[in-house]
Amino acid sequence: MGPVRPARAGDEAAIDAFLARHAETSMFLRANLASHGLSGGDHPHATTYHLAPVSGPVRAVFGRTRNGFVMCQAPEADAPFAAYAKATAGETVEGITGAADQVERLIPAFGLGQAAFRLKHAEPLMRLSLSGDLASEDVIRSPSGRDIGLLEGWFLQYMQETGLAAEGESARAEARDRAARAISGGAMRLLLVDQAPVAMAAISARAGDMVQVGGVFVPRLLRNRGLGRRVTAALLDEARAAGAQTAILFANNDAAERAYAAIGFARIGWYRVAVLDGSARIGGSA
C-alpha cells in the first residue's frame, strides 16, 4: 500500500465514507472526526489523522488523539503499519485501540514490547439492532454537581478494575477529571433505585445512526442484581428514541458479556484495548 500522508482539508468525506464501511471498529475515529475535525484543537480527544495510500481511494486510516491514544482502521494484508510508525516517530503514545488483529500488528511497528503494557487484551465486540423497543421502565438521569464525590469513587474503582489506571494520585486525578467531564458532557446516565444512583453507563461515541456504549459500572456491593443490564437497556431505550438504530460495545469480562447478551447483543468480533504502563515514544521506548 506504500507510505501514508497527513489528512488535509477536504479529506473528511472520504475518510468517513471509508470508516463507515468498517463502522463497528471505527466509532472513535468517526466520532472524533465529527466532533473535532482534522486538526483537532486542544480537546483531549482531538485527533490527528493519517491516510493511505497517498493518492486514490482511502484504504487505511490512523488517528492519534491529543492525549496519546492511537486508533487504526487498516484491514488489508498490506496495510502500512510501519509507514505510519515512521511518519509519527517520536510522538507520545499512551494506548492503542482498534480491531484486535490490527492492534497486534501496530504494536511491533511502534517498537513496543509486550511488557510495555499494563492492559492488552481482546474484548468481545458486540452489536444490537435498536429497531425494536427495549421497553425499559427504569428511571435514569444525567449526573449533576451533587454527584461529583460519588462519581469520583466510581470512576476510580472502574479504572482500577478494568486496568485503565493503577493505584496512586494520578489515578485519583484522572477519576476526578472523568467525573467532571461526565457531569458536563451530557453522555452519562445514572440508574436510580428509590431515587438513589446505583449504576452508570454512557454513550461513549456517536457516528451516524450508530452509538457505542461505554463506562458501564455497578459498585461492588450492588452487583449480581442485574443493574448493569438495566442501566444499559435504559440508556439504549433513550438513544433509540433519539434516532439511533444500532448499538455496539465491547465487554470487559465474561459476566458483562452475559449481561449484554441478555439484552440482545450478539458477539461479532474482537476489539483490543492496549494501555501502556506509563507513556512511550513511537519508535523509541517507554
25-42 per-position pLDDT tens digit: 999 999 999 999 997 678
List strand residue ranges (DSSP E) for 108-195, in order. 117-129, 139-141, 188-193
Going by pLDDT thresholds of 50, 70 and 90, the confidence category of residue 100 is: very high
pLDDT of residue 229: 93
Q: Kindly state the average pLDDT of the residues 12-21.
A: 97
Q: Give the Cα separation of 252 and 122 in Å (integer).
A: 9
Going by pLDDT thresholds of 50, 70 and 90, the confidence category of residue 70 is: very high
Going by pLDDT thresholds of 50, 70 and 90, the confidence category of residue 286 is: very low
Is pLDDT at 115 greater than 80 in this prediction?
no
pLDDT of residue 164: 76
3-state helix, strand, coil in the chain (%, to 5): 35, 30, 30
Q: Give the Cα separation of 87 and 106 in Å (integer).
A: 13
Q: For 185-198, write each residue's pLDDT tens digit.
A: 999 999 999 999 99
pTM of the entire structure? 0.91
pLDDT of residue 75: 97
Q: Give the Cα separation of 88 and 92 in Å (integer).
A: 9
Is pLDDT at 119 greater than 60 in this prediction?
yes
Is pLDDT at 285 greater than 70 in this prediction?
no
Per the prediction, the chain carries an average pLDDT of 92
Is pLDDT at 171 greater than 60 in this prediction?
yes
285 phi/psi in degrees, rounded to 5 = -150, 165
Q: Give the Cα separation of 224 and 90 in Å (integer).
A: 46
Q: Where is pLDDT greater, at 133 or 104?
A: 104
Q: For 222-255, write each residue's pLDDT tens digit.
A: 999 999 999 999 999 999 999 999 999 999 888 8
pLDDT of residue 166: 64
Is pLDDT at 114 greater than 80 in this prediction?
no
pLDDT over 90 percentage in the chain:
80
Q: Give the Cα separation of 117 and 26 in Å (integer).
A: 22
